[in-house]
Structure 1
Amino acid sequence: MAEDPQRNFRSVYYEKVGFRGVEEKRSLEILLKDDRLDIEKLCTFSQRFPLPSMYRTLVWKVLLGILPPHHESHSFVMKYRKEQYKDIYHALQVIRFIKDSTPQVEVFLRIHQLESGKLPRSSSYPLEPEDEIFLAIAKAMEEMVDDNVDCYWLVSSFVNQLNNKYKDSLPLLPKILEQYLNLEDSRLLAHLKTCSAMARLPYNLWFRKCFASCLPESSLQKVWDKVISGSCKILVFVAIEILLTFKMKLMVLNSAEKIGQFLENIPQDNTDAIVSKAIELWHKHCGTPAHSV
């Protein structure tokens, strides 16, 4: 009987990280039962395989540093984080930056601003571009995470990761996108260049907002698995797959403005397939080394 390449690949991987002949979910359960969680193995797993939804919030909290690796500290740390959240929430109420009717994502923004020393002098001040990014990510995260305290810390830590760990990498992604698109479909790239559309692609939506408000949450969380576990380059391949998927539509559009408008509002009916193909393309070109940006 011929060997199953996928099964063989898994066997090699599990042997490397200490598991053999078990399903992905079971192997993750084993990882999560360790007294001290192995961050490197969690990153590797998250980059190799989709995270089961029932474990996603926990893994994200560990990878983002919201929870420490040691299990016995989790309850204490989350108790402290809940108290910290409540204290800042109360302070913002006292200074009248928020009230009971304030939308939850705006509450998250004000807490984050106060935490980072960037709270404006008045709540009536216009939002900065970085605030718009925070709100977009917060709106998406709110659909994924039920608990407000968990949601806030995930959003805040994720945004901090983008602003710190990926600060130098994110500005390079448009150029990287062009390089890989040339390898995948040079004709499409030539058309986009002819229309002067490359500079008008929605890079802010794709890369700064990590596709929040572009992809539905069911697809988005699979992309964020990879970003949170160490690779912002996955964003490039999601963008490329969007371009390839809608190639026929894009080829008949002849202006940068029309192309940009279409890509900012892509149809939502096949985004799971787009993300799956993007992950395959990412594996093809980059492999999955842990913490690869």
Structure 2
Amino acid sequence: MMAEERNFRVQFYEKVGLREVEERRALEALLREEPVDVRRLVVWCRKCVVPQCWRPLVWQYLLEVTPRHLESQEYVRLQQRLTFEELWRTVRSLRLHKAPPPSSPLLLPCPSPPRTNGVSDHGDPGTPQGHHYVLMWLVSEARLLYNPQQQLQRQECRKFLCIARRMIIFYQDPVEVLHVSLAMWRLLCNQQDVVMEAISEATGQLRRENLAIHHHLLSMGLFATSLLTDLCMGLFYEVLPDTAAAKVIDKVATGNVSVLGYVVLALLLYLRQSLSSVTTVEGVASVLAHLRPAEAETVVSTALEYWARLGHQRRS
């Protein structure tokens, strides 16, 4: 009886547009808890879209950048700031802050239209730009080589740069940009096998839903390249605008990276008509790069529907 009553209430809220209000109140209650129950926060984020105003904080909790205990947060923030300042000082002392960013495009093997989100690697010289976060990451891992400019052109660095440029949009504090980027990159690297398996499952689902486009893409060798995996690991930076990508990152931050495979599936199905007219992997990349913002919202909504129906119970 209680379950029926709750279902009726949920349906009523959806009908009159109040479901988002109920969800937002639930999230705010979770964030007020001491300590924050990250497991419950994960469950909430897998079911709902995180409000824009809470998104930066929620990601920090999910990625364990911000401690769940309030009493620890000030100390951790101080340590994170000291770490950032040391890394940024090292990059500047080596004069690496004057190094040019990697050439564009980053992951797509074709020219892509310029992004209009305001991200640039030619801003205030006193503020880290996207490629500077890559250099700080390399320094922190003791992996900086004798030719950093050449190292920045490597695919791994380009993928990290995609993540850093994403986070610059959502965080104003460079300290947060660095540590959230590092945490997101660790998550994706640790779950890379899961990402690749999710892409394999997506191509299988594509074959079941549209054999013709699957055969077309297979015959040109798309699935034998690293393009789809690279785009997933770079959070579709050159394909999805930030507003659409944020809804996907909401799920990725919970640890369920398999949602990236459903984004691949939704992209290939939505763009099937345009993809059927190209004959090379570069042609596929060009079609993906020219996805319009309104189309991106449709693609992400479809991907999340697939994920909710087929994959949300599968833990990454």
TM beyond 0.5: yes
Aligned: 1:143 with 2:169: yes
Aligned twin of 1:59: 58
From the superposition, tell whether residues 92 and 237 of structure 1 become closer, same or farther in structure 2 (CA, over 3 Å).
Answer: same
Q: Secondary structure at the match of 2:96?
A: coil
Q: Secondary structure at the match of 1:213?
A: coil
Deviation of 1:213 (Å): 1.9
Q: Secondary structure at the match of 2:54?
A: helix
Aligned: 1:37 with 2:36: yes
From the superposition, tell whether residues 262 and 244 of structure 1 become closer, same or farther in structure 2 (CA, over 3 Å).
Answer: same
Aligned twin of 1:167: 192
Q: Give the TM-score of the pair, scaled to structure 2.
A: 0.80
Q: Secondary structure at the match of 2:192?
A: coil
Please tell me the residue identity of whatever aligns with 2:36: L
Aligned twin of 1:228: 253
Deviation of 1:257 (Å): 4.1
Render the CA deviation track for 1:32-58: whole Å, top value 9, x for unaligned.
011111111111111111111111111
Mean CA deviation greater in 190-199 or 173-182: 190-199
Please tell me the residue identity of whatever aligns with 1:152: L
Matched-pair contact (CA < 8 Å) for 2:63–2:253: yes
Q: Give the TM-score of the pair, scaled to structure 1.
A: 0.85
Deviation of 1:106 (Å): 2.0
Matched-pair contact (CA < 8 Å) for 2:49–2:250: yes
Aligned: 1:152 with 2:151: no
Deviation of 1:26 (Å): 0.4
Once superposed, what is the RMSD of the aligned Cα atoms? 2.8
Percent identity over paired residues? 24
Aligned: 1:7 with 2:16: no
Supply the distance in 2 between the matched residues of 1:103 and 1:34 (Cα, whole angstroms): 34
Supply the distance in 1 between the matched residues of 2:292 and 2:253 (Cα, whole angstroms): 26
Aligned twin of 1:243: 268
Supply the distance in 2 between the matched residues of 1:25 and 1:3 (Cα, whole angstroms): 17
Matched-pair contact (CA < 8 Å) for 1:188–1:247: yes
Render the CA deviation track for 1:225-266: whole Å, top value 9, x for unaligned.
111112111111111111111122222334444234322443
Render the CA deviation track for 1:67-113: whole Å, top value 9, x for unaligned.
11112222221122112211221232223332536851122112111
Aligned twin of 2:236: 211
Render the CA deviation track for 1:184-209: whole Å, top value 9, x for unaligned.
32332233234444335831442221
Please tell me the residue identity of whatever aligns with 2:189: N
Supply the distance in 2 between the matched residues of 1:247 and 1:272 (Cα, whole angstroms): 17
Aligned: 1:23 with 2:48: no
Unmatched runs of 5 consecutive residues or more in structure 1: 12-19
Q: 1:126 aligns with which of 121, 138, 151?
A: 151
Supply the distance in 2 between the matched residues of 1:266 and 1:172 (Cα, whole angstroms): 25
Matched-pair contact (CA < 8 Å) for 2:128–2:174: no
Render the CA deviation track for 1:6-63: whole Å, top value 9, x for unaligned.
926999xxxxxxxx99711100001001111111111111111111111111111111
From the superposition, tell whether residues 252 and 90 of structure 1 become closer, same or farther in structure 2 (CA, over 3 Å).
Answer: closer
In the alignment of these two chains, the number of paired residues is 281
Matched-pair contact (CA < 8 Å) for 2:65–2:180: yes
Supply the distance in 2 between the matched residues of 1:93 and 1:249 (Cα, whole angstroms): 46
